[in-house]
């Protein structure tokens, strides 16, 4: 198996090509699974969240993900969300493209998604946003980055919908999320865009066997969406949380216009997270598939990090997206 490598931008697409588009990127890297911390300690002799670990001297998961996104999105339009205190896990010799946003506290993935969205909306309300988890390696890069661009383009064509990338499964993996696809969207069959009947989170092995036979997809958790649409979804599903983030949004607009001091930003962020509800983004959003469009990735399948036996046995080589 090829060694995971840094993503190069000599691809079909590049951030330069997208400079004229309102395309922004978010990398979610605030996860703190205790199971994966112990795995990282066993495999790498270093207890840290998995996204900060790398294999055989290669780039960490977070480095690989951010650098891959930078092939498509201008660095100044990338936000990487990390957990409180996670700065100590970053390689000081590596300068990640874009800006780091450190959450003051762990309030679940809903806050992790809405925080960078506020920063995007404060600068470009009409933006299209790509959202990537930081627990995937991508092999080969030349296949994956164009799929991201397809997702962004589809989100612009369907501005009121959330686009989720699906991957063709290669086995009945019970601890993955699965997607039951509906019919192709009208006028979008050539593009491959489909409606969603239902999402399934961590089914039984017997269910996973059945899903594989029926042609369901793995949920990669990679999303593309218009910023305003995601904000509207957040207002419906997490109204209390969005009220708090709205205060931060108003302040950031003032700061960007030169009408408030940047020194207020950190204080405002702490205030938002003080007493903020803890909520899981996927569990709430996936209950409403009418908002969601599935875009199967071309010739790609997916595996991710958090599976102890497989990862330990392969020394972290099982964390990748690869050709099926």
pLDDT digits (tens, 9 = 90+) for 233-254: 999 999 999 999 999 999 999 9
Q: How many CA atoms lie within 13 A of 282 on its CB side?
A: 20
- Measuring CA to CA, which residue among 324, 322, 319 is closest to residue 44? 319
Predicted confidence at residue 306, as pLDDT, reads 44
Report yes or no on 164 lying in a domain.
no
- Measuring CA to CA, which residue among 89, 95, 285 is closest to residue 196? 285
Rounded Cα distance, 41 and 28, in Å: 22
Predicted confidence at residue 61, as pLDDT, reads 77
Domain count, the chain: 1
Report yes or no on 167 lying in a domain.
no
Report yes or no on 88 lying in a domain.
yes
Predicted confidence at residue 21, as pLDDT, reads 72
- Measuring CA to CA, which residue among 210, 215, 136 is closest to residue 168? 215
Report yes or no on 119 lying in a domain.
yes
Report yes or no on 129 lying in a domain.
yes
Report yes or no on 180 lying in a domain.
no
Report yes or no on 169 lying in a domain.
no
Report yes or no on 13 lying in a domain.
no
Taking the chain (324 residues) in consecutive chunks of 10 residues, what is each chunk's mean pLDDT?
A: 38 52 92 52 51 58 86 96 79 81 96 98 98 72 85 97 93 91 93 95 95 95 97 97 98 97 96 96 87 86 46 40 38
Rounded Cα distance, 191 and 185, in Å: 9
Q: Radius of gyration (Cα) for the chain, nearest Å?
A: 19
Tell me the pLDDT tens digit for each residue of 134-158. 876 555 567 788 999 999 999 999 9
- CATH at 242: 3.90.550.10
* Token digits of residue 154: 């589809």
The domain of 235 spans 23-159+221-280+299-323
Element (H, E) at 52: none
């Amino acid at each position: 198996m090829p060694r995971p490598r840094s993503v190069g931008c000599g691809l079909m697409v590049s951030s330069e090509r997208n400079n004229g588009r309102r395309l922004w990127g978010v990398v979610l890297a605030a996860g703190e699974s205790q199971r994966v911390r112990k795995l990282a300690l066993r495999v790498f002799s270093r207890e840290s969240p998995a996204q900060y670990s790398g294999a055989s001297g290669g780039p960490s998961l977070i480095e690989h993900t951010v650098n891959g996104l930078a092939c498509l999105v201008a660095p100044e339009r990338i936000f990487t969300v990390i957990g409180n205190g996670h700065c100590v896990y970053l390689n000081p010799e590596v300068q990640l493209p874009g800006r780091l946003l450190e959450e003051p506290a762990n309030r679940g993935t809903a806050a992790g998604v809405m925080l960078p969205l506020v920063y995007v909306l404060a600068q470009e309300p009409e933006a299209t946003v790509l959202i990537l988890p930081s627990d995937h390696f991508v092999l080969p890069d030349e296949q994956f980055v164009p799929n991201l661009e397809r997702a962004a383009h589809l989100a612009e064509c369907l501005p009121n919908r959330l686009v989720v990338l699906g991957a063709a499964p290669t086995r009945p993996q019970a601890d993955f999320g699965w997607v039951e696809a509906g019919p192709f969207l009208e006028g979008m069959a050539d593009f491959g865009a489909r409606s969603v009947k239902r999402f399934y989170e961590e089914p039984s092995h017997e269910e996973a066997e059945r899903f594989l036979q029926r042609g369901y997809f793995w949920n990669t958790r990679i999303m593309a969406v218009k910023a305003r649409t995601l904000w509207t979804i957040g207002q419906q599903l997490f109204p209390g949380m969005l009220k708090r983030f709205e205060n931060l949004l108003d302040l950031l607009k003032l700061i960007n216009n030169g009408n408030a001091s940047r020194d207020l930003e950190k204080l405002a962020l702490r205030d938002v997270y003080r007493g903020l509800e803890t909520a899981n983004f996927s569990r709430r959003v996936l209950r409403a598939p009418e908002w969601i469009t599935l875009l199967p990735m071309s010739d790609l399948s997916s595996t991710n990090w958090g599976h102890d036996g497989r990862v330990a046995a392969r020394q972290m080589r099982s964390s990748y997206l690869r050709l099926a």
